[in-house]
Amino acid sequence: MARPYQRKKTPGTRRSPTKDSNPDRIHGNPPSTLSSRTADNSPTATSSTPYSLQVNQTPSRRFRPEEIYPEHFTLADIEAPNGDTVLLACPGSTEKCPHCGRHEAHTGSIVIAVDGACRGNGQHGAQASVGVYHGYGNEWNESFVLPSEATQTNQVAELVACHRALLDAQIKHACGEESGDEDEKINTVVIKSDSEYVVRGVTEWTEKWKTNGWLNVRGQPVANGEYFRNIGRIVEALEAKQVVVWFWLVPRELNEDADQLAKLALGQD
């Protein structure tokens, strides 16, 4: 897929591709089974209407797997690598494929992992970098340092990574719509991050900042406010296209792929 910009190509990661040879285990659009569980812990009834059309007008953008997936799913089970792309596993899957060890997946629900790194964070001469991971060996994977004019902090790098991933998702969605191929269309985007600052900032604090005119409780401009505003614009643009956008806060050990890419740009292992 051609890109309007091109960074240096990056290697995959330690994880090997796990493309399922059984096409029946890859669900096409829409992922109508991505719904909250009922009080008795069973999936709620679903319909043929895409999940992206079932969300409220003001959707909750925090991805909480425990509200969607049965108890037998672990955090690692939520993702279903398929070739060079990471998809969301189907909550209705009752068992893993004996060949790839993964649950069934939804083709229209992609997971993009993001992370930032900073050498000398908070010090003079610091250098920050970005990692965006789409999947093993994926040509959309990115690893680059922030330009010199940018604020060189870990938080800014994480926000830039998030913004870049959303731009990628926006382009992929447009390409899928243009192709007319149902398997290429995207209806759900999950941004995976180990940064509470990014995830809570986008899903909780942004609305409060908007109400306060982008001022914090001290009456001062919100730090990195322009980054959050830019992220919010893309999220709203995707939602206007009936794409669900979720932000998933994960433990650091579950975000090693994006972390590795961010460190790679700094020449770190």
Residue 2 lies in a domain: no
φ, ψ at 68 (rounded to 5°): -120, -40
- With bands split at pLDDT 50, 70 and 90, how would you rate the model's confidence at 10? low
Residue 214 lies in a domain: yes
CA–CA separation, 235 and 91 (whole Å)? 24
> Which residue range is the domain that position 113 belongs to?
65-266
Read off the pLDDT of each residue in 206-230 and give the average, rounded to a whole number.
95
The answer to whether 128 and 152 have CB atoms below 8 angstroms apart is yes
Residue 179 pLDDT: 84
Residue 97 pLDDT: 78
Provide the 10 A C-beta neighbour count for residue 153: 18
The answer to whether 146 and 130 have CB atoms below 8 angstroms apart is yes
Q: Is the pLDDT of residue 190 over 50?
A: yes
Q: Is the pLDDT of residue 29 over 80?
A: no
Tokens of 72: 């037998």
DSSP structure string for 2-55: --SS-PPP----SSPP---S-GGGEE-S--TT---B-TTSSBPP--SS-GGGTS
Dihedral over alpha carbons 59, 190, 114, 112 (to 10 degrees): -150
pTM for this prediction:
0.81
Question: How far does Cα 241 stand from its chain's mean position?
Answer: 17
Residue 167 lies in a domain: yes
Q: Is the pLDDT of residue 106 over 90?
A: no
Residue 11 lies in a domain: no
The DSSP bridge partners found for residue 245 are: 189
Residue 24 lies in a domain: no
Q: How many domains does the chain contain in total?
A: 1
Tokens of 255: 């975000």
| Residue bearing the bigger pLDDT, 145 or 30 | 145
Query: 147-172: per-residue pLDDT in tens?
Result: 999 999 999 999 999 999 999 999 99
Residue 218 pLDDT: 93
Residue 146 pLDDT: 98
Residue 37 lies in a domain: no
Residue 165 lies in a domain: yes
CA–CA separation, 159 and 185 (whole Å)? 26
Residue 69 pLDDT: 93
CA–CA separation, 63 and 34 (whole Å)? 11
- With bands split at pLDDT 50, 70 and 90, how would you rate the model's confidence at 85? very high
Q: Is the pLDDT of residue 110 over 90?
A: yes
> How crowded is the C-beta side of 251, counted as CA atoms within 13 Å?
5
Residue 26 pLDDT: 54
> Residue 182's domain is classified under what CATH number?
3.30.420.10
Residue 20 lies in a domain: no
The three-state (H, E, C) secondary structure of 225-236, written as one string? HHHHHHHHHHHH
Residue 122 pLDDT: 87
